[in-house]
Structure 1
Amino acid sequence: METPIYYLFVLALPIACVAWTVTKEEIFKEAREFCVDRSKTAHSLIKRKFFYVFTCEYCFSHYVTLLLLFITNFKLIYPDWRGYLIAFFALVWIANVYMSIYNIIRIDLKKEKIRAAKEESELKNE
């Protein structure tokens, strides 16, 4: 089974996008806060872990990857179940590299905005 490796890097993009958006962005803030609360206060371990999944981009990326593999039938190296297993872990890893890079970029942009605002404030005070 010949699968171009670039599919791995392309398919990891929507995984990273969905996992990051659900676990970090403002649009899901209320749902995420509900899940954070339930992940700390639910009585059973299974419920706490279920709700925690929606608060952790790494954890959530595993479930998004499962869904994507089901939809795309993507396999790596082997044409059977082993190909799914390898694709699963490879996609999760690449997606999390993407999210780490995105997070670094966002932090740098925030630092730059803070510096610019500080400099602007200092210029106004002079």
Structure 2
Amino acid sequence: MDSTTQIFWLFTLAIPVACIAWTVTHEEVFREPREICIKRSQYGKTILKRKFFYLFTCEYCFSHYVTLFFIFLTEFKLLLEDWRGYLIAGFALVFVANAYMSLFALLRQSIKKEKTEIEVLEKKVEK
């Protein structure tokens, strides 16, 4: 696979990794399981149990596991054709997916701020 195709795959595979990691760790659809994981990550009896449940509450941590799934699914390698290509691809995918999630978080924050400002202006106009 040539380098242009690899870069295309890298930026494309990072999209579902980011979407899944964000949805599980932030969106309402997974709120109840996430709240259970938060409690178990804080009050688990062993450090292993606390860290295991923490993985489902942190988008960065969870994105590593989603990345492993997609690398296994697609057999995507980056730069090298042996096991090192999987390793490089894994960390590169996590990096790009987390960049996507950061951009998405900033976009959502900006939209929320604009909505709040609009509501304040509308209330002023009503008065």
TM category (shorter chain) comes to: over 0.9
> For residue 10 of structure 2, what is the aligned residue in structure 1?
8
Other-structure match for 2:39: 37
Amino acid paired to 2:77: K
Q: State how 1:1-126 maps to structure 2 within 5 Å.
A: 1-3=1-3, 4=5, 5-125=7-127
Letter of the aligned partner of 2:2 in structure 1?
E
Cα distance in 1, alignment partners of residues 100 and 78 from structure 2: 19
SS at match of 2:88: helix
The superposition leaves residues 33-90 of structure 1 with CA deviations (integer Å, 9 ceiling, x where unpaired) of 0000000000011100000000000000000000000000000011110000000000
Residue type of the alignment partner of 1:103: A
1:80-101 CA deviation, whole Å, 9 max, x = no partner?
1000000000000000000000
**C-alpha root-mean-square deviation of aligned residues, in Å?**
0.8
Deviations 1:12-52 (A, max 9, x none): 00000000000000000001000000000000111000000
Question: How many Å separate the matches in 2 of 1:107 and 1:2?
Answer: 38
Runs ≥4 in structure 1, deviation > 4 angstroms?
none
Distance in 1, matches of 2:59 and 2:74, equals 21
Partner deviation per Cα, 1:98-126 (whole Å, 9 max, x = no partner): 0000000000000000000000011111x
Q: Which runs of 5+ in 2 are unaligned?
A: none
Query: Gaps spanning 5+ residues in structure 1: where?
Result: none
Aligned-pair distance for 1:2?
2.8
